[in-house]
Amino acid sequence: MAESTVNNMTIRLAGEAGQGVDTGGAGFAKALANAGLWVFTTSEFMSRIRGGLNFYQIRVADHPLYSHVEPVNLLLAFTEEAVSEYAGTVVPGGGVIYDQGLKVREEMVARNGVQAFPMPLVKIAQEVGGNRIMMNTAALGAAAGVVELPFEFIAEIIQRNFRRKGDAVAEANLKVAEAGYRYAREHYAAGFPWKLQPRKTSRPRLMMTGNQAIGLGALAAGCRFISAYPMTPASSIMEWIAAHGARYKVVVKQTEDEIAAITMAIGAAFMGARAMTATSGGGFSLMVEALGLAGMAEIPVVVVESQRPGPSTGMPTKTEQGDLLFVLHASQGEFPRIVLAPGTIEQCFWTMVRAFNLAEKYQCPVIVLTDNYMAFQARTVLRQDFDYTKVEIDRGALLTKEELEQMEGPYLRYKITESGISPRALPGHPKAVFQACSDEHDEYGHFEDEDAENRVKMQSKRMRKLRTALAEIRPPEVYGPEDPEVTFLTWGTTYGPVREAVDILNSQGVRARMLHFVDIWPFPVDAVLPLLERSGRLVAVENNGTGQFAHLLRAMTGREVDDRILRFDGRPLSPDYILRKFEEARIHA
Amino acid sequence: MLDVKIYNSPVKPTWCPGCGDYGILNAVKAALAQLEILPHEVAIFTGIGCGSKLPDYMTVTAFTTIHGRPIPVATGAKLANPKMHILVVAGDGDTYGIGANHFIQALRRNPDITLIVENNMVYGLTKGQYAPTSQKGMVTSTTPEGAIEVALNPLAMAITGGATFVARGFSGDPKHLAWLIAEAIKHKGFSLVDVLQPCVVYNKVQTYDFYRERVYKLEEEGWDPADRKAAWEKAHEWGDRIPIGIFYRVEGEPTYEDQVPALREGALTTQPVGLDPQAFEALLNEFA
């Protein structure tokens, strides 16, 4: 047997919807996290409730992970299709666990040095657990057995996950898992070179998904209102907040459509609640007119746009960064908006905190751009990176009761100021009588949709807010050496894959650097220009087909990228993919 | 009873002379004065159209939104601060056309919002196209051979949809209309006041005279607004006699906001922003 590799592998569970691929995978990932390992999970599922072919993939290591990788070391295949479809992703020496009752030709699996691990999973489930549905539990036990992870970590997670279904169910699953574990360990562990060993951890860790981090960030920021219409991959943001709505006093309203979703949030924000909505590109398309209303009436509203491949219905359960230029330009006319694109779980949390602050400070819509890849990925993170003492709530120029009472003359909601920011008052106070207006208006808010001079004054006032906001827009993160020969320009959710590609290239002697943008609009031109001067070869890396950020960069700086690494097949960028494309480009160059 | 002048605005209406909107404006002011609701205790949400300029001609908290959307904006506002009186004033295009889905959803949600629809059965501001409430056969610039569709019946729809207060007024009788609006505001739950409003420029059929010859008041005929089935049938009476008044009213139904757990401790807008640090740690523990 080859020398074993400890704590560095990828496990993929694959099967039909309804077979517990997702819950089983999440449970297994949690067990690994509890064993003190760093975990990064991704999943891919089909747009259907039952059947199809889904996978849940767990990458595990001794060090923090920011990305998935494509090669699989151990595949748990719950169906024949899962074997035939995914055996090719398994590396030489890797293994495929499947029930021996499946119609699988062993020699089909065992091509390219991949090992077939057929096991009596269904038989174990039936004989030990009394129900064939526990086959996935047997498989998870078997996976732990093959990698020789101490069984206690699996036992703990089974007890935790099945407790609410009663002791009998938990006990049966435990026995099934143990039987699977023993079988796999006896028959296949010796020949399998990847092993997992528990590690002691010094700093507490958490495991959460991108959408959970977004929900958590919203709650931390004092979001009190979310109205949304379910749409993959954004739905779980509303679901997560709904599960906490009663306790944390958040009004959660599922609406009749996305138009109602954003307009209700706008109504709540007008009254003074921190309000948000969450959707994907199709729903955002419906929100576009109301986005302009928030711009014109100067209403602070946070919109999470979790992208998926379009146009139209596109690929509902896949990923893409295809909406950047759309959200930058959505809605008629010109008005200030802020666009932020977090790249990590931690950034999802902190970006939401900032989004609510920026929305209220600049009284404009803030769009948080993520995608399917971010929505569903789960990672182990450090608890200390979610330090609540660092959460600052800044409501901007918001008049207090005392200030309103002392105010002489009428309150001017749209008062013309140097910064463009007109102090806000919340309805309900005797002095706070004003009209928020979607037509062009005067300082009070009265219609003034004819006068040329007023138009220029008010439009200029609004647009000045963007200039003012620029002062707190953050420059891109620079990762990599000072004098790069190649700079990867990227934004949003591609952070992890690009970062890892940069690490690999540097380890191979290529001085590669990453410029990663979270803050996209207003565009931080002054911070970017000097970075471009010493970029070396400038390569845009984006999960879309045209290089939308490269387009923006050229518009804002005049600089054309030298090359583009793009992906628009519905799958996320990965370090492997980036390096493959980079290599191809070098060969062609 | 407050002095209606407190709602006056320095802005002069841009409505056509004789427009039914004047009567609606006066009725809204009179109802608020009668109920002693101060300008900061009420917020009026409007859509787009002639009548949606109404709050511009008042001193009152207001939000003139976009076409078809005042109902969801107002619903969000009500859920954020249930203490405010919320009125939606919108046209028949806003409410029964582009925003019809929001109208239907509001009926079954029963938020404590009063919806006043300026129903002139034509699109005025865009200069005379037919509306969802235009009678079948109405000739307009976009229906030169006459409208093919059957007119939408807002009252029957509201009663069917679960509204707890359904009334119809006539802008030519602002005193009666003010009474209806006051009753609607007093009603706890969603209330619809559909207002027959002549458009003196683009609707040459449903004129002041047309209505004056036909309208009669339900309350003068001993109408019992508690009977939902009878109200639904009454909502179909349209011809030589056109009823105005309260068609249907049921009290005591819980409002939407009354049933939202997050609002048990009062308005969101008066609570501190942010979390208690311990509450945050409890959230983090879910991920540990």
Query: Is B61:A434 a contact under the CB 8 Å cutoff?
Result: yes
| Lowest mean pLDDT across A103-112, B51-60, B275-284 | A103-112
Q: Is B278 on the interface with A (CB under 8 A)?
A: no
Overall average pLDDT of the A246-254 stretch: 97
Residue A468 pLDDT > 80: yes
Number of CB atoms found within 10 A of residue B195's CB: 27
Of A260, A433, A438, the CB nearest to B65: A438
Alpha helices in B46-166 (DSSP H): 70-80, 92, 100-109, 154-161
Cβ contacts of residue B271 below 8 Å, gap of 6+?
A224, A249, B265
Chain B interface test: which of A249, A266, A271 (most B C-beta within 10 Å): A271
Q: Is A160 on the interface with B (CB under 8 A)?
A: no
Contact A263 B69 (CB under 8 A): yes
| Chain segment A39-84, per-residue pLDDT in tens | 999 999 887 777 789 999 999 999 999 999 999 999 999 999 999 9
Of B38, B80, B288, the CB nearest to A225: B80
Query: Is A228:A234 a contact under the CB 8 Å cutoff?
Result: yes
The Cβ-side half-sphere exposure at A403, using a 13 Å CA radius, reads 10
Contact B80 A271 (CB under 8 A): yes
Identify the closest residue of chain A to B104 by CA–CA distance.
Answer: A256
Q: Is A219 on the interface with B (CB under 8 A)?
A: yes
What's the burial of A325, exposed, middle or buried (CB within 10 Å: 0-12/13-18/19+)?
A: middle
DSSP string, A152-182: HHHHHHHHHHHGGG-HHHHHHHHHHHHHHHH
Instruction: Output the CA torsion sign for A148, A153, A156, A161.
Output: negative
Overall average pLDDT of the B1-25 stretch: 95
Q: How far is A392 from chain B (nearest CA, A)?
A: 9
pLDDT reported for residue A107: 85
Contact A438 B66 (CB under 8 A): yes
Contact A268 B268 (CB under 8 A): yes
Could you tell me the end-to-end alpha-carbon distance of chain B, in angstroms, rounded to an integer? Answer: 60
| Chain segment B70-117, per-residue pLDDT in tens | 999 999 999 999 999 999 999 999 999 999 999 999 999 999 999 999
Contact B73 A224 (CB under 8 A): no
Averaged pLDDT of chain B: 97
pLDDT reported for residue A51: 76
Query: Is A97:A74 a contact under the CB 8 Å cutoff?
Result: yes
pLDDT reported for residue B13: 96
Of A248, A250, A263, the CB nearest to B72: A263
Q: Is A361 on the interface with B (CB under 8 A)?
A: no
Chain A interface test: which of B65, B89, B278 (most A C-beta within 10 Å): B65
| Chain segment A496-528, per-residue pLDDT in tens | 999 999 999 999 999 999 999 999 999 999 999
Of B62, B105, B274, the CB nearest to A435: B62
Chain A interface test: which of B73, B88, B264, B280 (most A C-beta within 10 Å): B73
CA nearest to A528, candidates A457, A478, A586: A478
Query: Is A542:A498 a contact under the CB 8 Å cutoff?
Result: no
Q: Over pLDDT 90: what percentage of chain A?
A: 94
- Cα(A240)–Cα(A563) distance, rounded to whole angstroms? 40
Cα dist from A555 to A48, A71, A523, A578, whole Å: 41, 38, 10, 25
Contact A388 B277 (CB under 8 A): yes
Tokens of B229: 């089935």
3-state SS, A301-342, equals EEEEEEECCCCCCCCCCCCCCCCHHHHHHCCCCCCCCEEECC
- Cα(A196)–Cα(A413) distance, rounded to whole angstroms? 62
Residue A255 pLDDT > 90: yes
Overall average pLDDT of the A411-435 stretch: 97
- Cα(A364)–Cα(B120) distance, rounded to whole angstroms? 35
Of A251, A266, A391, the CB nearest to B268: A251
Cβ contacts of residue B288 below 8 Å, gap of 6+?
A204, A205, A206, A383
Residue A345 pLDDT > 80: yes
Contact A426 B269 (CB under 8 A): yes
Task: Enumerate the residues of chain B whose CB falls inside 8 A of the CB of residue A207.
Answer: 287
Query: Is A182:A146 a contact under the CB 8 Å cutoff?
Result: no
Q: How far is A500 from chain B (nearest CA, A)?
A: 25
Chain A interface test: which of B66, B89, B264, B286 (most A C-beta within 10 Å): B66
Cα torsion A176, A182, A187, A188 to 10°: value is 90
Query: Is B91:B120 a contact under the CB 8 Å cutoff?
Result: yes
ipTM value: 0.98
Contact B84 A427 (CB under 8 A): yes
| Chain segment A128-184, per-residue pLDDT in tens | 999 999 999 999 999 999 999 999 999 999 999 898 899 999 999 999 999 999 999
Q: How far is A126 from chain B (nearest CA, A)?
A: 33
Averaged pLDDT of chain A: 96
Chain B interface test: which of A335, A438, A442, A450 (most B C-beta within 10 Å): A438
- Cα(A530)–Cα(A534) distance, rounded to whole angstroms? 7
Contact A208 B287 (CB under 8 A): yes
Q: Which domains does chain B have, with CATH numbers?
A: 4-261 (3.40.50.970)
Chain A interface test: which of B15, B48, B64 (most A C-beta within 10 Å): B64
Contact B273 A293 (CB under 8 A): no
Q: Which domains does chain A have, with CATH numbers?
A: 5-195 (3.40.920.10), 207-390 (3.40.50.970), 401-471 (no CATH), 477-588 (3.40.50.920)
Contact A271 B41 (CB under 8 A): no
| DSSP three-state, residue B194 | strand
What residues of chain A, 238 to 277, have a C-beta less than 8 Å from chain B? Answer: 244-253, 255-257, 259-260, 263-275
Of A395, A435, A447, the CB nearest to B273: A395
Total beta-carbon pairs less than 8 A apart between chain A and chain B: 203
Residue B226 pLDDT > 60: yes
Residue A1 pLDDT > 70: no
Alpha helices in B165-227 (DSSP H): 174-186, 208-214
What residues of chain B, 48 to 77, have a C-beta less than 8 Å from chain A? Answer: 48, 53, 55-56, 59-66, 68-69, 72-77
Overall average pLDDT of the B208-237 stretch: 98
Indicate the pLDDT class of residue A2, thresholds 50, 70 and 90. Answer: low
Residue A33 pLDDT > 70: yes
- Cα(A182)–Cα(A174) distance, rounded to whole angstroms? 12
Overall average pLDDT of the A368-382 stretch: 98
